Amino acid sequence: MARDGVAIQFDGVYKSFEDTHVLKGMDLEIGWGKITTILGPSGCGKSVTLKHIIGIERADAGRVTVDGNEMGTVSERDLVELRKRIGVLFQSSALFDSMTVRENVGFGLRMHTGASDAEINERVQACLEEVELHGAEEMMPVELSGGMRKRAALARAIAMSPDFILYDEPTTGLDPRTVNVVSDLILKLQDRLDITSVIVTHDMSLTRRISDHVALLYQGKVAAQGSPDEIEAADNEVRRFIAGEL
């Protein structure tokens, strides 16, 4: 069931790694059921932002809240349960090379549910059909093209019927046709699955095509945010980013 309001919130978040200050008072609200895209140049903290949502990183100061869970103080038990509700599409796809596509997609179900083999196989089939990869069940990752690897990883990300999907540079390294295929899949899944999606990218064309809300991350803060049209009409850092100057 669709929900209104804020699903994920960053409130004055600071994060450093030794002497490198990555997030410097970041504020951001991510709405339920929307596609929120975080734009920014390499090294600006986009992937670090995703890691705070998953709980891999914790803020040095400030607060990150995911569906009411304060990520700085959440218990290990509640964090495990929250992570079951978050699907992640990694930049490298991160498929297990020693497993077939079927085994990769069903991995989370086998690890975290009491589903039978028949139930897992049925769910795997449904997920592969969602990403238009039916028939690839017994293939190994090494046999897949870049676009097929992305689709297999996306099938794995949706297998546990998550409330959230996080996409880390989903179109990096793909040819223009495959970029369009992945973009269409993101929109299709958003429409069919009632999820909240967060995408980090530097791809402006992808951003225009799929986003409900866009935030430009620059020098550790959100420099501008709004709809894709509002972002492109903004000044200063946004124009410089679009022009390839950041």
Question: Mean pLDDT over residues 222-236, rounded?
Answer: 82
* DSSP-assigned states of every residue in 47-66: HHHHHHHHTSS--SEEEEEE
What letter does residue 231 receive in the DSSP assignment? H
- Residue 200 carries which side chain, given as an amino acid letter? V
Rounded distance between C-alpha atoms, residue 137 and residue 127, angstroms: 11
Name the more confident of 138 and 175: 138
Rounded distance between C-alpha atoms, residue 38 and residue 188, angstroms: 20
What letter does residue 244 receive in the DSSP assignment? T
Confidence of residue 1 (pLDDT cuts 50, 70, 90): very low
Confidence of residue 236 (pLDDT cuts 50, 70, 90): low
Rounded distance between C-alpha atoms, residue 172 and residue 84, angstroms: 26
7 pLDDT above the threshold of 60: yes
Rounded distance between C-alpha atoms, residue 22 and residue 97, angstroms: 32
Rounded distance between C-alpha atoms, residue 227 and residue 215, angstroms: 9
DSSP, collapsed to helix, strand or coil, labels residue 30 as strand
Q: What is the domain partition of the chain in residue ranges?
A: 1-85+197-246
In degrees rounded to 5, what are phi and psi of residue 164? -130, 145
Look up the CATH superfamily of 1-85+197-246: P-loop containing nucleotide triphosphate hydrolases (3.40.50.300)
> pLDDT, tens digit, for every residue of 26-53?
999 999 999 999 998 887 888 899 999 9
Percent of the chain with pLDDT over 90: 52
List the Cα angle 148/151/155 in 5-degree steps: 140
Name the more confident of 43 and 85: 85
Q: Give every CB contact of residue 87 below 8 A, 6+ residues apart in sequence.
A: 156, 157, 158, 159, 160, 162, 164, 165, 166
Calculate the alpha carbon distances from 241 to 175, 176, 213, 230, 232 in Å: 22, 21, 17, 14, 10
Rounded distance between C-alpha atoms, residue 97 and residue 36, angstroms: 31
Rounded distance between C-alpha atoms, residue 29 and residue 107, angstroms: 31
Confidence of residue 233 (pLDDT cuts 50, 70, 90): confident
List the Cα angle 114/118/124 in 5-degree steps: 90
At 106, list the tokens: 């069903």
**R_g (Cα) of the chain, nearest Å:** 18
